[in-house]
Each structure stands twice: as structure tokens, then as C-alpha cells.
Structure 1
Amino acid sequence: MKANAYSADCPTRQILDRVGDKWAVLILLLLRHEPLRFNQLRRDIEGISQKMLPQVLKSLERDGLVKRHAIATVPVTVEYSITPLGKTLATAVDPLRDWAERNLKDVLAAQRRYDAQRHAKAA
């Protein structure tokens, strides 16, 4: 089957869902520098819940983007690292993170203008 993201049944959409998931993107961007343990990821990514982090990590592992490594300690230590495939995705999405950081002020200003116009029309 030829990939066509505009087709309702194309598996490409599942990959785009992963790329559009802020938690997945943030995890990949952190892991591209070095492998990290679960609790370090939780500390570094403010706002991610104890429930959400393992769900996203499992999805990334299933997609071949992240590798999970259990270290035989008491208790077991789990470390996550990015795969070569994951590195290609991190390289592709990092410019989006950079764009968001560079243009944050303009986007927030546009939102305020939009909200003010909507509020004025409603009054």
C-alpha cells in the first residue's frame, strides 16, 4: 500500500499523531543527548503525570523510537535511550521546538488580539 496521509486508513496518521504529541517530542528531544532514567525524565519534563510518562514511553518503544533497558539492581533501574530511528525524528522536530520558542511572543499577542475581538463582538 502506498502511503497517503490524507487517506483515512493510512498508517502514516499514527506516526503524525506521535509527532504531534508534545510529550513524545519532549522525551525524544531530551533523550537525544543521553540515556535517562524514568524519574529523571519525570523531573525534567514539568507537567507530565506519573501515568502519562510510561504510556508515552511504551508508545515510543513500540514505534522503535526509544529503547528501554532494565538494569538488575534492587529495585530495578530502568533507563531509556533514543534509537537511530528516534534520532532522525528528533532531528526533524527540533526545528519546530525552536520555531515555537522564537515565535512564542507573536503567537501569544495574536491570541490576545483574537480573544479581544471575540469579546468585543460578544458584548
Structure 2
Amino acid sequence: METVSTREELKAAQEAKVKEIVVVGDLAGKLKKAKKVALLGKVALAVLAATLGVATFTAPVTGGLSYLAAAPAAALTGAEIAAIIAATALGVSLVIAVFKDYEEISFENGKMTLRRKAKS
């Protein structure tokens, strides 16, 4: 089990294939919101990438994403603006990778526990 509180720590834990990750602090809240984006279908993700731009999709935004950019993406994908902003702040590709490999076990008191999915 590894506890993470930054995007970099989360990425390192995911890449190291840690069995269980405990996400704490502000990162836990952002990841919870961003989960909705990770669950979008391929078409919606393509629309999101096209609307926000590939650079925003693959790397986190340094200054945050404005509602002006998020609103069209939300309208086209059906995702909430808050989820799009949270996912963009963390890096959409990281959010997708985390929820592809991990399932959320619990979220309470600003702490999210993720467990690596068993390979079938």
C-alpha cells in the first residue's frame, strides 16, 4: 500500500503497479471528480480531446482550465464541467490510466483508496 498526495506520486505509483494506493488531500477530491471523465466512451473522449486540444489532454494545465473552454466540451460529451476541469488539472491521460488499472474501493473524509484490478 502506498499513500500519495501529489500528481507525480500518483503517476509513479500507477506506473509501479502498486497493489493498493491511498490518495489523500486535495488530490483525492480532484481524482473523485475526474473519475467521470475516465468513464466516458471513446467517442466522447475523442470529442473532449478535440475540444480542449491535445496538449491539454496529455499534460496537466498549469494555470487551470477556464469555464469558457470547459463548457463546449461539457455540452458535447455530457460530462460535468467540474469533472472536466479536475481531469484536465491532473492530466486526462493519467486519470484514464489510473481508472483503467484500478478500482475505487472507498472514498471518505478526503481519502480515496484504489485497488489494482485483477487481470482476467
Q: TM-score under structure 2 normalisation?
A: 0.28
Give 1 or 2: higher strand fraction: 2
Larger of the two Rg values belongs to structure? 1
Of structures 1 and 2, the one scoring higher in RCO (CA 8 A, sep 6+) is 2
